[in-house]
Chains A and B, each alone.
Chain A
């Protein structure tokens, strides 16, 4: 006899709306389905209606955590359309900010992950260290969260004079902390019991399901866009692609933790070998792109991010397609939640497995306002938002 248990759309294990429907027999999960339709924002359509320069600010808001990856991917895409390439110094500065945001994202995930497993102290520790990285992002880019650092043709500003020294001090600190966390994770029986052997995804299945990023590397597949399709001078910077072959949630923790120290080394190398020269090309803010198509890929903290655009020669994209890493990884959650043979999944494992992919639902489902009292929905336009931001009530048409 099986029952259906809904988890979500609002649930403490996850702050974003996601609906999991689990079919259970006792405590055992036999089937699962996932629904991400709660926050589709229609950003792809919105990008078709805006000049390229406005799109840059919109793509950053697809995801707050991976904003550096989104804006980088967008800039690479538009630069490719225009046939331009960012100067060497810009490429290295982009790597510095990209890797810093990867450290911040991985620390955020690690903290949040242990929080879902019930390990509050470690959550506080990770998030405290992440604050140091946020300070560095603020120092270099001027903003803590939405950095707005990349721009079409390069980066928006050069390194401030005292930044390098402060950055190196922070990197030393992070490196030491990561070494400590690795010791904690390997010696803490609760963490091992909650993660080892949980959420198995075999390498063959991972490839079939189209899994990307650290989640794929935790299944033992060596794929990283920075290595396979270097996009911003990554072929000049030596780094190791971290893989782990136990294919479980423990592997996902280990891969992200070790990647954090790889990021530290990459930033150090970029600082040591920072080319001199311009940090941006002069490109007028409003321009027409020649007709054609371009595709850019970036290794975002959560995995391969794809932007694919088609231009018809106008001042805005004819079609702009964004594929975020979480959407690619969602299918594997269904697979990992399904018990089969001697692989058994229990309801208690759901937070560990769902958390394992580092889900970011608002990036996968890309404004709809619901007026519950009047039982109707309206799509908010840019004008509405502008009026709303000026303190006037949004009038319903």
Chain B
């Protein structure tokens, strides 16, 4: 299946839920979808298009919104993206479709503060257990030059 065929199949199926679809290069396809359709698009890609391998999930701070990117496929690499607003960001968890998402969703929850609705165990994975709540190191407003106090000690 060529890059264009894949894009056509997904856009025909989901219509106006697809905000932007483009070919990034050889074997690279990027699709931006609305948050309510994100899980359905991932399910369709994994179960009907044979992209059942999840390489990883990435999280990006886009300034006014936060973006989740699902990387799917062995040879063809499909990026399925969705954006949510920064106040109370939440995205549907895809762990029930692709169990591999489990650790990546915990990583994004840790570092960017996006909640994944329906994740069975959204615990800390990378940050120390006494890292303050509500501080997300990969957001653009966080600067490592000005560390916040940990363990309730005085400012350092």
Residue pair B99, A304 in contact (C-beta under 8 Å): no
Q: Write out the residue numbers on chain A whose beta carbons fall within 8 Å of the beta carbon of B75.
A: 228-229
Which chain A residues border B93 with CB–CB below 8 Å?
A: none
Q: A37-B126, A37-B129, A295-B28 are in contact. Are A42 and B144 (CB under 8 A)?
A: yes
Across-interface contacts of A379 in B (CB, < 8 A): 144, 147
A210 interfacial contact with B, CB 8 Å = yes
| Given A209-B100, A331-B100, residue A40 in contact with residue B127 (CB < 8 A) | yes
Q: B24 to A295, Cβ gap below 8 A? A: yes
* Contact assessment for A319 and B60 in the assembled complex, using a CB-CB cutoff below 8 Å: yes
- Tell whether B119 is near chain A: CB-to-CB under 8 Å: no
Nearest residue (CB) in B for A222 is: B74
Residue from the list B98, B107, B154 in contact with A208, Cβ < 8 A: B98
Report if A328-B137 is in contact (Cβ < 8 Å); known contacts: A208-B98, A396-B156. no
- Residues in chain B near residue A210, CB distance under 8 A: 53-56, 98-101
Task: Mark each residue of chain A from 30 to 45: 1 if its CB lies under 8 Å from any CB of chain B, else 0.
Answer: 0000011100101011
Tell me if B24 and A293 are in contact (CB < 8 A): yes
Distance (whole angstroms) from the CB of A262 to the closest CB of chain B: 19
- How many residues of B are in contact with the other chain, CB < 8 A? 46
B118 close to chain A: CB less than 8 A: no
The residue from B60, B77, B124, B142 contacting A310, defined by CB atoms under 8 A apart: B60
Indicate if B52 sits at the interface (CB-CB under 8 A). yes
**Residue B34, interface by CB 8 Å:** no
A376–B149 CB distance below 8 A: yes
Residues of A within 8 A of B (CB-CB), count = 44
Number of A-B pairs, beta carbon distance below 8 Å = 110
CB-defined contacts of B11 to chain A, threshold 8 Å: none
**Which residues of B (83-119) have their CB < 8 Å from a CB of A?**
98-104, 107, 111
For the complex, is A80 an interface residue (Cβ under 8 Å from B)?
yes
Please give, as numbers and ranges, the residues of chain A lying within 8 Å of B55 by CB-CB distance.
210, 212, 297, 304, 306, 323, 328
Tell me the residues in window 216-241 of chain A with beta carbons closer than 8 Å to chain B beta carbons.
223, 228-229
Does A57 sit at the interface, judged by CB under 8 A? no
Q: How far is the CA of A187 from the CA of B138 in the complex (A)?
A: 51
Q: Within 8 Å CB of A140, what residues of B?
A: none
Quick check: is A249 within 8 A (CB to CB) of the other chain? Answer: no
Residues of A within 8 A of B147 (CB): 378-379
Q: Which of B58, B99, B104 contacts A308 (CB 8 A)?
A: B58
What 0/1 readout, one digit per residue, does chain A (62-95) give for beta carbons within 8 Å of chain B? 0000000000000000001000000000000000
Chain A residues near B150 (CB, 8 Å)? 376-377
